Structure 1
Amino acid sequence: MAITRWDPFREVVALQNRVNSLFREMNEGDSPLTTASFVPAVDVYEDAKKVVLKLEVPGMEEKDLDIRVENHTLTVKGERKFEKDEKEENFHRIERRYGTFYRAFTLPSTVDTENVQASYNAGVLKLELNKKPEAQPKQIKVNVGSQGKLESKKEEQELVGAR
């Protein structure tokens, strides 16, 4: 009699693998479901001068990416192609996503849509959108009570002394 260690998640993992294979089989045909095979993760942040988006799209080339700005909407489309060097039946597991993707982002009116910079490094597509100059914060000096009056008197005395 063999003793087998009990794993409470064994059946769950088997079920997950079966469901994944069913979805993969369903998506292999030429159906509308294949138009967006995966959705790359994105980070969006901003500072005083620009809005930055970083999309994870490893294994893609520049020619496979299409970036457009139209009517304050930024769209990023692309396609990650399956490497045909290896036959699909030789794989034990395919977890990376292949096919096309599409992401759209509504841009705030403070962004200068004419000045968008894109760079691609280590599988991350970085889009930098500069803000319009009028949307950038401006520093305003505040004079407080009698201190402002004292500074004004000093400036007057300096001007009188310079004459």
Structure 2
Amino acid sequence: MLYRTSLYPADPFALMRRLSQDLDSAFGAPRAFPALNVWQNEEAAAITAELPGVEPADIDIQVKDNVLTLSGERKLPDLPEGATWHRRERAFGRFTRAIRLPFRVDPEKVEARFADGVLRIAVGRPDEDKPRRIEIKAA
């Protein structure tokens, strides 16, 4: 049987992850918090985390070897006296996410910014680990 390669992404497990996500959505499984995006190039990796309702002072970022750990707390809002919850779909409390990066991290090259409920983290690669172009000399 022939498969059309345009239907299958370069990542052989992408289809399995998509199926797992679809099943989780269909059966109401909770999503990991915070939602993350991670990308990389030869110089660095970037992580964005959606953290609505979390104060920057309540966020902790740690890096060791090639693992970035993001933890913190989204505090329960104060309700006016006599008020009761009618619906509560947002989760509150402590959270932790650990992300294994594709390279060792230079702790001096980690930078974080927080605006509009989105945390952006740039993680630099040590200079000695960056790919180097090798010049070919004429014989």
TM-score past 0.5 threshold? yes
Distance 1:75 1:87, change over 3 A: farther
Aligned-pair CA distance for 1:139: 4.7
Out of 54, 65, 86, the position equivalent to 1:60 is 54
Aligned-pair CA distance for 1:142: 6.6
Q: Does 1:46 align with 2:40?
A: yes
Aligned-pair CA distance for 1:140: 5.5
Aligned-pair CA distance for 1:141: 6.2
- Mean CA deviation greater in 86-95 or 122-131: 86-95
Aligned-pair CA distance for 1:62: 1.3
- Aligned residue pairs: how many? 109
Structure 2, gaps ≥5 residues long: 1-27
Q: Deviations over 1:33-59 (max 9, x none)?
A: xxxxx6211001002211111111111
Q: Give 1 or 2 for the bigger CA radius of gyration.
A: 1
Distance 1:95 1:83, change over 3 A: same
1:131 is matched with: 125
TM-score, structure 1 as length reference: 0.56
Aligned AA (2:85): F
**More helix by percentage:** 1
Q: Deviations over 1:55-92 (max 9, x none)?
A: 11111111100111234322111101111143584332
TM-score, structure 2 as length reference: 0.64
Distance in 1, Cα, partners of 2:124 & 2:113: 14
- Mean CA deviation greater in 80-89 or 122-131: 80-89
Distance 1:72 1:48, change over 3 A: closer
Distance in 1, Cα, partners of 2:104 & 2:130: 8
Structure 1, gaps ≥5 residues long: 1-19, 21-37, 149-163
Distance in 2, Cα, partners of 1:90 & 1:60: 22
Q: Does 1:69 align with 2:63?
A: yes
Q: Does 1:93 align with 2:82?
A: no
Distance in 2, Cα, partners of 1:126 & 1:109: 18
Amino-acid identity (%): 35
Tell whether the 8 Å contact from 1:66 to 1:77 is kept in structure 2 after alignment: yes
Q: How does 1:1-163 map to 2 (within 5 A)?
A: 39-86=33-80, 89-139=83-133
